[in-house]
Structure 1
């Protein structure tokens, strides 16, 4: 999807009008790095800048980095829009960092599961957490494709497994999955820590949060299997690397991509217009085909070739949801314990 097409579409969407276009302003948008940032910079941001008469400064970082920036800038926010995982988004709302969404017709088309009761954030899309593996390495070793979260404990993957740390949602999903395998869950995380210490840790090559470093570990042949998101895996496979992605038979995890206008932003109107633009069908298709994000807009139809590995239609039924009320309340405690006991 080219920016020219998006520019044409924007002509019919509700954006900033009249005086707001008189002089260019700078809108600060914080969101993910890696392949997500690339798609945003190349195929999403330019059309909005051209139509809205604003310059967008994109601030890349993972969700916990963005939340930390909001906390550090409390009372003098320098960000206008944030895009982050659903768990940290709920934290941002509860901490008062998100302003109320301006009314917009587009929200009538958003899937109910993507709407926040607070009306201070909205889901922009969804990816699924599952298992990515190198088909080349698996074929060379005659290994069968992974099918279960329990496969992470298999000794044949010693120093071949990559898992993001738990300050990253993919890592947190993995800890919860290990707890659930052993009869626990969000309200009883102990089995998860025990499984990691006793059965998974020996297989871990790195606890890696960086998308660039994750792909590098696969490209240089060090890593063979990892926990990652469907969108990240799709973007990696699109580069030509033989990356395959599967949801474990016990179920992958839904990871919502959420956005909110930052409370106190001097560009409240522009921030809300940008979020509504992100939900427009054309942009939703761009994010699905370019970054593997399942659409939040129910009016979006993806062609069959664009649906592989993306949470869309029946694939959404394979995903489980985290109880964020419990997880967010315990996350700081779990992270300190993780750093002390697991990722030393």
Structure 2
């Protein structure tokens, strides 16, 4: 089966992927020019499946307000840009979310010496948010329901938002808690800042595609599902290489039906590994972020990632 998007991607020779302008752990351009992060690994996985190379990606750094607009307009083929899957977004834009990449929730970054330990203690203060995100609406809902209010101040880019918090213009930085871990690490003295324990919303960050190409949607969805299912397979079999080979063979058989060859799954797993590998590489202890997997564990360990069968 061929898809118009897949044909265009192959003719172009690269997958165009919208990512953030720079959030450590999710999508960040290094000094060597290489992008890294959980979101970028998802894009690489799609490129490995569709084009045979995980490096065949043209990165499109995008402000939060334009993450889905650039996708809808045809500027990019895939958006993996710490964007939450919501009914409002699918209802108002010609996009579909292909699957959750990271379960998260809106949180607060504050100065460790501020004495603030609960969101309620920010009532009446200015808080920095990124324009084009759900942060302002989440704040209004959470604080309004408690008869309280904060003053959200919106900035166009993550860099501007972090700067407004860092220079004291705002008492807190409000963003998904996984993303805040990366933003905290970018500060001069990360230890002088803390992320509050409370999350005030549900933020399933997801990969998105246009809604005019069901076959491309199916391809991207199953690339993401492969990462989770392969992790489950490793747990079940116990022997990593054997488990990955089994997952790749089972999924590979269906490649021609989704516009791919039978080696697509093997390429994906060789390029980025399982979901556990992607998470550990970008958010694990060795990164300095050490974001606990929590809801991003497999369902067998109390998380929300459920391995859809590959057979």
TM-score using structure 2 length: 0.57
Compute the displacement of 1:153 (Å). 2.0
| Contact 2:108–2:173 (CA under 8 A) maintained in structure 1 | yes
Please say if 1:169 is aligned against 2:134. Answer: yes
Compute the displacement of 1:152 (Å). 1.4
| Contact 1:123–1:258 (CA under 8 A) maintained in structure 2 | yes
Compute the displacement of 1:46 (Å). 5.5
Pairwise CA RMSD: 4.2
Inter-CA distance 86–306: structure 2 relative to 1 (3 Å threshold): same
| Corresponding position of 1:32 | 20
Q: What CA deviation, in whole Å up to 9, does each residue of 1:19-75 have, x standing for no partner?
A: 99997722222233321321792352557656743522222335542333355x3xx
Question: How many residues are treated as equivalent by the alignment?
Answer: 231
Please say if 1:312 is aligned against 2:298. Answer: no
Compute the displacement of 1:130 (Å). 1.6
Q: Output the CA distance in 2 between the equivalents of 1:217 and 1:21.
A: 39
TM-score using structure 1 length: 0.52
Secondary structure class of the residue paired with 1:121: strand
| Corresponding position of 1:234 | 181
Q: Output the CA distance in 2 between the equivalents of 1:283 and 1:216.
A: 35
Inter-CA distance 286–244: structure 2 relative to 1 (3 Å threshold): farther
- The runs of 5 or more residues in structure 1 that have no matched partner are 1-18, 100-119, 183-194, 293-301, 316-344
Please say if 1:42 is aligned against 2:36. Answer: yes
Please say if 1:252 is aligned against 2:200. Answer: yes
Compute the displacement of 1:148 (Å). 2.6
| Corresponding position of 1:132 | 109
Q: Output the CA distance in 1 between the equivalents of 2:16 and 2:277.
A: 21
Q: Output the CA distance in 2 between the equivalents of 1:208 and 1:128.
A: 20
Q: What CA deviation, in whole Å up to 9, does each residue of 1:293-328 have, x standing for no partner?
A: xxxxxxxxx77998965461599xxxxxxxxxxxxx
| Corresponding position of 2:275 | 284
| Contact 2:64–2:130 (CA under 8 A) maintained in structure 1 | no
Q: Output the CA distance in 2 between the equivalents of 1:93 and 1:30.
A: 17
| Contact 1:215–1:236 (CA under 8 A) maintained in structure 2 | yes
| Corresponding position of 1:80 | 77
Compute the displacement of 1:256 (Å). 0.8
| Corresponding position of 2:57 | 56
| Contact 2:105–2:201 (CA under 8 A) maintained in structure 1 | yes
Q: Output the CA distance in 1 between the equivalents of 2:172 and 2:93.
A: 39
Inter-CA distance 24–207: structure 2 relative to 1 (3 Å threshold): closer
